[in-house]
Structure 1
Amino acid sequence: METKIFKPDQVSEAAELIKQGQLVAFPTETVYGLGADATNEQAAGNVYAAKGRPSDNPLIVTVSSIEMVEQFAQPLTDQVKQLMTKFWPGSLTIVLPLQPGKLSKTVTGGLDTAAFRMPANQVTLKMIATAGVPIVGPSANTSGKPSPTLAKHVYHDLNGKIAGILDDGPTQVGVESTIIDMSTAVPTILRPGAVTVEQLEAVIGAVKADHHHVKANEIPKAPGMKYKHYAPSAQVEIVDHVNDFQSAMDWAGQQREAVGVMATDDVLANLQLPANVEAFSLGADVQSATHLLFAGLRHFDLESAVKVIFAEGFANEGLGAAYMNRVDKSAGGMHFTNE
């Protein structure tokens, strides 16, 4: 299969492929997603195959309007409507109970709920509206690899496996959306993202976070809760304290292989980098670091032959919760220690 690259003025061509049951990667403000007609069970199943994704990992349903959600979900509560009014289009995914039989188990992972999102990207919203159906929208990468923030990242992973890529340039946020479960008695954050706990609570009151480990025989309610994610070929190690970075560099200088380091500019400016260490700037602060995290992991995966990547850690609060969630999964929980 030839994977065609579509520009924003070719939205109608991309939408036609969706209507034909083909797979088309699409841009959002967070990362690139992999789209297929969510009402076409075979097309949704092909998404799992293209990504190498476990079949019990549910797919996000991406929509262009609230009316599209109402075709599939149970009647929306006042709290859900408040969230949609405040954060849609945007980086919030909402898990909702479904009307019976409206979406296939292939999309839902066998659950009676589904996660819905309306991304803040006009090109993609136009494609969905033109196709006339919601699309599934997991990240457009090989399952487990860093999420794509550029069309070329999608092409690297999925060239020949999907029909097209709708290229709208680099994404703005850089990590996937916040996922909140509104099918439970207390609204529950299943995945932190650009929309923070504080922002959610300002709209609907108290929410809680779900940190439980999803068991082998348990179906996760949302992506990213069960399987290792965001992992480049190199081993990532989180450096929790700025004072430990030089120790990490001293260790790196003793290795025969190349080593990567991802940190903010202030940290990099004060490090003595050995000749075998390549630095990738995460910018000035946690906001830029969150935006650039996947780009950095992809850089070392595609353009450098490093064996280890040291990544800066941040306080696990606000936007830092989203950053730490992703970098911890990419590292498999490994943190640098100088002991």
Structure 2
Amino acid sequence: MSHVTKDIAAAAAALRDGALVAFATETVYGLGANACDGQAVARIYEAKGRPSFNPLIVHVPAAEDAFKLGRFNADAMKLAEVFWPGPLTIVVERADDCPVSKLASAGLSSLAIRVPGRESAREFLQLAGCPVAAPSANISGQISPTMAQHVVTGLGERIWGVVDGGTCEVGLESTIVSCLGETPVILRPGGLSRERIEEGLGKPVDFQTGSTNDPISPGQLASHYAPNAAVRLNAKDARPGEAYLAFGKREPEAHIVRNLSPTKNLNEAAANLFAMLHTLDMLGAETIAVAPIPDEGLGVAINDRLERAAAPRD
């Protein structure tokens, strides 16, 4: 039965033995499994109901551990040096002797790797003693969890348990940058803005727009991060019966209202996004109307999540 614990050592031992264990990073809670154990990785897909062609991010406690798993070119090395530990995932070619299950990378020759910024997450990874595949700890396509209770509510008895790390401070998944070609490409916007990445690298990066049904990294499916409620974007007012997700001081009358950031702070909005979608879903909203969000800085990542949440579902 899934339970919430603060015993990192016990959780790490359970993961090492093949169990699924959720843990907090600075971005969202990840659903961890021993990345070198194909059966454990398969249990992630099973628990999440996740499409098997959607690759997973492998988490390690230090950059030195990442360098053993993949082939880092100059750009990848620079990104690791400047932004790790932190909310950045780097996609590189797998090393010839990479022990990570091919299932974790959906059979691709590349690997998505991250060193999380939160110290407790790195301690958990260190105690686990193996690379840890860890997508967001939620049912595939639903809202990503930023609190331990979100994980318990969503995954329940499907997993061993959750290491309670409180609330995730960033609240958006990591930015994913591919270093497979001559120019780095942002595959998924996230907790690290394009501007900061370009400043750190000292050169421009490309940005892959749109979604795909043949992704080379997590978070590229069209319908993703979706609550049960329908989502209506760029809504300046709420229609009768709609819940409203506000941004800024203006809060129109609505059935239920939550505000991502009354002061229009995009960092605050990013940290609140998934938790507030969870709340509105839990309160039974059939449609969530969302205020316009500036498409700049972290607003790019917020809009990316919202567009996926609003995408038509099969």
TM over 0.5: yes
Alignment of 1:68-107 (within 5 A): 68-74=65-71, 76-100=72-96, 102=98, 103-107=100-104
CA distance in 2, matches of 1:227, 1:64: 31
Kindly state the Cα deviation for residue 186 of structure 1 after the two structures are TM-superposed. 1.0
Question: Is 1:263 aligned to 2:246, yes or no?
Answer: yes
Question: Is 1:225 aligned to 2:220, yes or no?
Answer: yes
| Contact 1:19–1:131 under 8 Å retained in 2 | yes
Query: 1:186 is aligned with what amino acid?
Result: T
Query: 1:5 is aligned with what amino acid?
Result: V
Kindly state the Cα deviation for residue 333 of structure 1 after the two structures are TM-superposed. 7.1
Partner of 1:159: 156
CA distance in 2, matches of 1:6, 1:313: 38
CA distance in 1, matches of 2:244, 2:97: 49
Partner of 2:52: 55
Question: Is 1:115 aligned to 2:112, yes or no?
Answer: yes
Change in Cα spacing, 1:124 to 1:140, as seen in structure 2 (3 Å) is same
Kindly state the Cα deviation for residue 101 of structure 1 after the two structures are TM-superposed. 5.4
SS state at 1:119 partner: coil
CA distance in 2, matches of 1:232, 1:182: 32
Query: 1:321 is aligned with what amino acid?
Result: V
SS state at 1:239 partner: coil
TM-score (normalizing by structure 2): 0.95
Query: 1:98 is aligned with what amino acid?
Result: R
Kindly state the Cα deviation for residue 213 of structure 1 after the two structures are TM-superposed. 3.8
Kindly state the Cα deviation for residue 203 of structure 1 after the two structures are TM-superposed. 2.0
TM-score (normalizing by structure 1): 0.88
Question: Is 1:4 aligned to 2:3, yes or no?
Answer: yes
SS state at 1:190 partner: strand
Kindly state the Cα deviation for residue 79 of structure 1 after the two structures are TM-superposed. 2.2
Change in Cα spacing, 1:198 to 1:333, as seen in structure 2 (3 Å) is farther
Alignment of 1:1-339 (within 5 A): 2-7=1-6, 10-74=7-71, 76-100=72-96, 102=98, 103-204=100-201, 205-215=203-213, 218=214, 220-239=215-234, 245=236, 248-249=237-238, 251-252=239-240, 258-268=241-251, 271=252, 273-274=253-254, 277-283=255-261, 284-285=263-264, 286-302=266-282, 304-332=283-311
Tell me which moved more, 89-98 or 206-215.
206-215
Query: 1:144 is aligned with what amino acid?
Result: G
| Contact 1:100–1:112 under 8 Å retained in 2 | no
SS state at 1:128 partner: helix
How big is each residue's C-alpha offset from its partner over 1:27-60, in whole Å with a ceiling of 9 and x where there is no partner?
0111100000011111011000000001000000
SS state at 1:189 partner: strand
Query: 1:317 is aligned with what amino acid?
Result: E
Query: 2:74 is aligned with what amino acid?
Result: D
Partner of 1:337: none
How big is each residue's C-alpha offset from its partner over 1:223-281, in whole Å with a ceiling of 9 and x where there is no partner?
111241111111011126xxxx2xx33x32xxxxx42101124121xx3x15xx11011
SS state at 1:159 partner: helix
RMSD: 1.5
How big is each residue's C-alpha offset from its partner over 1:46-95, in whole Å with a ceiling of 9 and x where there is no partner?
00000000100000001101121122112x22322221121111111100
Kindly state the Cα deviation for residue 192 of structure 1 after the two structures are TM-superposed. 0.6
Query: 1:3 is aligned with what amino acid?
Result: S
Change in Cα spacing, 1:101 to 1:85, as seen in structure 2 (3 Å) is closer
Identity rate of aligned residues, in percent? Answer: 36
Query: 2:136 is aligned with what amino acid?
Result: S
CA distance in 2, matches of 1:125, 1:294: 23
| Contact 2:234–2:293 under 8 Å retained in 1 | no
CA distance in 1, matches of 2:113, 2:198: 19
Kindly state the Cα deviation for residue 158 of structure 1 after the two structures are TM-superposed. 0.8
Deviation >4 Å, runs of 4+ = none
SS state at 2:165 partner: coil
SS state at 1:25 partner: strand
CA distance in 2, matches of 1:190, 1:24: 27
Query: 2:2 is aligned with what amino acid?
Result: T
Kindly state the Cα deviation for residue 212 of structure 1 after the two structures are TM-superposed. 4.4
- Gapped runs of 5+ residues in structure 1? 253-257, 335-339
CA distance in 2, matches of 1:234, 1:96: 36
Kindly state the Cα deviation for residue 313 of structure 1 after the two structures are TM-superposed. 2.1
CA distance in 2, matches of 1:22, 1:51: 14
SS state at 1:144 partner: coil
